[in-house]
Chain A
């Protein structure tokens, strides 16, 4: 603490008082710095950063010729396991009026219930009002888990 070595008598008590208050306020201020610092270092509840990929579930949860809707960021994505066991993923928002599409296993097509729009299994609009195909996503199997991510489909 900054304390002068000379001690003029008349204002000694006042100076001590100021020095004490100064000390208290330094400690208080440091407190307001250390509290956030410590809180910052406490690992947050969600331990992992949400990278640009999403786990759609275990491979075993997908029988052949079935599908599941998962959330990818804001948007729903439809993950389909084809008859031959391969995975494919497409944005699940119908290109007509933003309804969520569904997979019809019997017909092997993707269907939008709102206005009867139909897409083939690759997301191409084949009948009904949809003006554009669904966007393709990458679906990969990693350690028995189905991972969906954005990107070019190989």
Chain B
């Protein structure tokens, strides 16, 4: 403890200690949901570490991207582990963000005063999807190449700005080496910077405002509610869960490795079974089901607009759900919206994989 004292003498750690101890974590039937955000945070940390490690060997460029990933997994010692962990943790990252988001939604934890936490969380989801979309292309294999082609095309369907977005994403008219460099730049520089800034705000807000509890529990006096200190008690639990997740990722990496596939060949016909990453599947499948022309516009455009409007409503739910904090008000409208969203995503995803 001498080192801590040494530091304490120079910069008072009291403020930090106070800040850490400030928060109490309520203990009730829903305490388990509090781990989800923490797991997502842990996965993000894994992503940063493994991502940095991958940049030591990865070389963007159409003649080197695929080859360097192959080099990492076959020639660099533990390179396979780094890549597998990066891929697996990326997928689990998005999964846990979704779980975190839906538990927050159904617990109505977005209500006043936590609107900003919800908004920053939604932004983090979009950033995470951006990470997934840009990272998917980097190995420059067949599947990722064509998925990127389809994905950017959908963005190009937007009115007025579509063409600009398409060219902006692809860095040209086609998915090419220029797209790869651009995606690389986004994936390793722009998005991490944005993510860390928003994540900082998100975590600060959580720490300042403490944990949210469901409205019916909130009515009880604080003394009657059980709770444990966030630090160190809950942090230790958090770390325990993280380590379990770490073990799961390690096992997944060994027993279910992500295949590298064949190198992308822009001239080759699209191979069968082109599909986006699973977290885009529900959107992809929906767009496929919309007829080519709907009302006065193209079906694809219609679908994209619907998703944008849906996303906007979802994002603004703290401001639309006026009675969220009132346990006596039995408006289940937003619950139904949430259940519909979950059901829609699950059905469309499963359908997409079955067809």
State the A residues within 8 Å of B (CB): 1-3, 29, 36-37, 39-42, 44-46, 49-53
Most buried by A among B1, B64, B76, B232: B76
A46 (CB) vs chain B CBs: closest residue: B75
B61-76 residues with Cβ-Cβ distance < 8 A to A are: 63-64, 67-68, 70-71, 75-76
- A29→B244 CA distance, assembly (Å): 13
Please provide the chain B residues from 49 to 89 with a CB less than 8 Å away from any CB of chain A in the complex: 53, 56-57, 59, 63-64, 67-68, 70-71, 75-79, 81-82
Closest residue of B by beta carbon distance from A42? B77
- Report Cα–Cα, A39/B53, bound state, in Å: 12
14 A–B pairs (Cβ distance < 8 Å), ordered by A: A36-B77, A37-B78, A39-B77, A39-B78, A40-B53, A40-B78, A40-B79, A40-B82, A44-B76, A44-B77, A49-B68, A49-B70, A51-B63, A52-B63
Cβ of A51 and Cβ of B67 under 8 Å apart?
yes
Complex Cα–Cα for A16 and B63 (A): 57
CB distance from B70 to the nearest CB of A (A): 8
Which of B56, B64, B77 is within 8 Å of A49, CB to CB? B64
**A50 and B71 within 8 A (CB):** yes
Query: B206 contacts which chain A residues (CB < 8 A)?
Result: none
Q: Give B288 Cβ to nearest chain A Cβ, in Å.
A: 34
Would A44 and B75 count as touching, CB distance under 8 A?
yes
| Complex-state Cα separation, A112 to B227, whole angstroms | 81
The A-B contact count (CB < 8 A) is 46
Chain A contact surface mostly:
loop
Given A2-B236, A3-B1, A49-B59, also A40-B77 (CB < 8 A): yes
Q: What is the bound-complex CA distance between A36 and B81, given in angstroms?
A: 9
CB distance from B54 to the nearest CB of A (A): 10
Tell me the bound Cα distance from A52 to B343 in angstroms. 46
The answer on a CB contact under 8 Å between B64 and A51 is yes
Residues of B close to A2: CB separation below 8 A: 232, 236
Complex Cα–Cα for A46 and B77 (A):
11
A46 vs B75: C-alpha distance when bound (angstroms): 7
A53 to B64, CA, bound (A): 11
Say whether, besides A49-B68, A51-B63, A37 and B236 are in contact (CB < 8 Å). no
Q: Shortest distance in angstroms between B331's beta carbon and chain A's nearest beta carbon?
A: 45
Contacting A37 at CB < 8 Å: which of B53, B57, B67, B232?
B53
**Shortest distance in angstroms between A149's beta carbon and chain B's nearest beta carbon?**
9
**Closest approach, in angstroms, between the C-beta of A150 and any C-beta of chain B?**
9
Least CB distance, B64 to chain A, in whole angstroms: 6
A37: B residues at CB distance < 8 A: 53, 78
- What residues of A have a CB within 8 angstroms of the CB of B68 in the complex? 49
Considering only residues 26-60 of chain B, those with a C-beta below 8 Å from chain A are 53, 56-57, 59
* Chain B residue at minimal CB-CB distance from A48: B71
Q: A1-B1, A41-B56 are known contacts; what are 11 more A-B pairs with Cβ within 8 Å?
A: A29-B243, A36-B78, A37-B53, A40-B56, A40-B76, A40-B78, A49-B57, A49-B67, A49-B71, A50-B71, A51-B64
- Give chain B residues whose Cβ lies under 8 Å from the Cβ of A44: 71, 75-77
Q: Distance in Å from the Cβ of B19 to the closest Cβ of chain A?
A: 17
Chain A nearest CB from B11 CB (Å) reads 20
Tell me the bound Cα distance from A50 to B66 in angstroms.
10
The contact of A52 among B59, B67, B76, B82, by CB within 8 Å, is B67
What's the nearest-Cβ distance from chain A to residue B240, in Å? 11
Query: For the complex, what is the distance from the CA of A39 to the CA of B71, rounded to whole Å?
Result: 15
Closest 6 CB pairs of A and B: A36-B78, A49-B71, A44-B75, A39-B77, A40-B78, A49-B67
Which residue of chain A has the shortest Cβ distance to B243 in the bound complex? Answer: A29
